[in-house]
Amino acid sequence: MTRLIVVSNRVTPPTADATGSQGGLAVAIGEALRENGGVWFGWSGQRVPEFTGQVNLQRAGGVTTATVDLEEQDVDEYYNGYANKTLWPLFHYRIDLTEYDRSFDAGYARVNQRFADTLLPIIQPDDIIWVHDYHLIPLARELRARGVTNRIGFFLHIPWPPMRLLATLPRHKELVSGLFDYDLVGFQTHEWLEAFCDYFQREADAEVGDGVMSAFGRTVRIGAFPIGIDAGAFKEAAKSAEALAARERMRESIAGRQMIVGVDRLDYSKGLEERFLGYERFLADNPERCQEVFLLQIAPPTRSEIGSYQEIRNKLDALSGRINGAYAEVDWVPLRYVNRGYPRAVLAGIYRTARLGLVTPLRDGMNLVAKEYVAAQDPADPGVLVLSQFAGAALQMPEALLVNPFSQEEIAEAIAEGLGMRKAERIRRWEALMHNVESCDVRRWRDDFVAALEAARLPVAMRPPA
Ligand code: ADP
Ligand code: G6P
């Protein structure tokens, strides 16, 4: 059995009460590493005055983690800089928020080189290496330059942007041609895969075959591998004592009202401002019903050293205050806005209590919250999922109430429709949604990707020149 090495920017080993944003991923990867043996490599999240290259090996929850500390300048230029001020907004179609700065390029290249240098001694001949997300696009090129011939796969968790947007990135071709040093490149949906093919066909005369693409004298395997959640575990979590306690705690303050829930990292891609405005429109359009309802928005702050994240936080603080100021009564607040993380079981209990799940990102690679909301429902009396048509999950979840998240009217109408939906209709939609959530779960995602990577050695004639 080959050993799996997983590489991601940050390492989040699974814990029983994971409050982090990588819950499902951590569980799935942790399980694969436990079953087959292996290592999870990445940044420790710690900053040090000077990079030492020292690797901290630990076994946590049966998984071996190998972490490195980064120096302040690395975090500024690579994590806050190129990854999250340049690539994240650009890949989420926000060129208005995208910053281009050569110092970021240098920091991004440096950290990828440092990852390659520190990972190199850990790699054994039969290992397969699975690299995750936009922080680490050049990693395979760096490893190949150091003589690594192992199979290396890359999975992009976020959208792939349209070619004309990507072309605004200085030296874009240099960056993305690095993907041809992988054996397999995977995306969340066919939509992002198509955009990827379109870019290389136009910019590099790429030839696309059945699951392969050739350009720059190289051939790489490509595919869509939609990520899922650990549906069984989440279903159970929603019925656990901890979830029950959370529901009990909320019951009194709910006082028979219908709860709407939103759960998102506090990120501008999640459409929170538009969501609040859509909810405000619902309140304005339904004065007779509005006090029977409230919205609980949970939004833990993220990447808070970055200006665009500080701005969205300030905007939401002001907007939530304005909505509550305008509509609240002495015994009712329309919007409960909470900036903190919760253990997964508590979150599952909250989802189960909510009659409506509001998931309205402006753009999202997949969106796991939509799947978690469905998995947590009571089959006999499930809630309704309102889902953005621009989340990757929309392609798999057509039985949700799909909305254009930029339209306040559509959000307001979907809230009204969802809250008024009859039980038989709710059950019919939920069963179809749950079927998808259970069949396309996180294990299938992992197994499909790893199997494709294991099979990905190209025939000798098609291998890249050594
Ligand atoms: P993204 O990866 O962009 O943050 P996803 O919806 O795909 O978006 O995944 C978010 C993950 O983070 C989900 O597993 C969700 O449960 C978790 N999460 C988000 N907010 C919280 C919170 N306040 N407490 C605990 N977990 C959270
Ligand atoms: C998204 C990205 C992940 C990242 C996560 C948390 O899901 O696709 O790569 O790990 O957000 O982001 P953070 O910057 O807090 O690590």
Query: Given ligand 1 and candidates 369, 387, 390, 445, which is best to mutate, with the most ligand atoms within 8 Å of its CB?
Result: 369
**Mean pLDDT to the nearest integer, 23-46:** 81
Give the chain's end-to-end CA distance (angstroms, integer). 26
| Other CB atoms within 10 A of residue 158 CB | 20
pTM, two decimal places = 0.96
List the residue whose alpha carbon is closest to atom 18 of ligand 1. Answer: 21
**Mean pLDDT to the nearest integer, 185-200:** 98
CB of 302 shorter than 6 A to ligand 2: yes
Output the CA 47–ligand 2 centroid distance in Å. 18
Rounded to whole angstroms, how far apart are CA atoms 385 and 388? 10
CB of 22 shorter than 6 A to ligand 2: yes
Mean pLDDT (the chain, rounded):
93
Which pLDDT band holds residue 464 (cuts at 50, 70, 90)? Answer: low
**Mean pLDDT to the nearest integer, 370-399:** 98
Interhelix angle 344-353/368-375, nearest 10 degrees: 70
Residues within 6 Å of ligand 1 by CB: 19, 21, 23-24, 263, 265, 298, 300, 341-342, 347, 366-369, 372
Query: Given ligand 2 and candidates 22, 75, 130, which is best to mutate, with the most ligand atoms within 8 Å of its CB?
Result: 22
* ipTM of this complex: 0.99
Spatial strand order of the sheet with 184-187 comes to: 56-60, 63-71, 38-48, 4-10, 128-132, 151-155, 184-187, 218-224, 212-215, 207-208
SS3 content of the chain, % helix, strand, coil (to 5): 50, 20, 30
Provide the pLDDT for residue 14: 59
Provide the pLDDT for residue 402: 98
Which pLDDT band holds residue 461 (cuts at 50, 70, 90)? Answer: very low
**CA distances to 2, 236, 408, 423, 454 from 153, in Å:** 14, 32, 40, 44, 9
Provide the pLDDT for residue 5: 96
**Mean pLDDT to the nearest integer, 216-245:** 95
Output the CA 443–ligand 2 centroid distance in Å. 20
CB of 10 shorter than 6 A to ligand 2: yes
Rounded to whole angstroms, how far apart are CA atoms 5 and 394? 31
pLDDT, one tens digit per residue, over 315-351 is: 999 999 999 999 999 999 999 999 999 999 999 999 9
pLDDT, one tens digit per residue, over 415-455 is: 999 999 999 999 999 999 999 999 999 999 999 999 999 99
CB of 158 shorter than 6 A to ligand 2: yes
Output the CA 375–ligand 2 centroid distance in Å. 22
pLDDT, one tens digit per residue, over 84-140 is: 999 999 999 999 999 999 999 999 999 999 999 999 999 999 999 999 999 999 999
State the burial class of residue 160 (Cβ atoms within 10 Å of its Cβ: 0-12, 13-18, 19+): buried
Residue 225 pLDDT > 80, yes or no?
yes
Which active-site residues does the annotation give?
Answer: 157, 364
Per DSSP, 298 falls in state: E
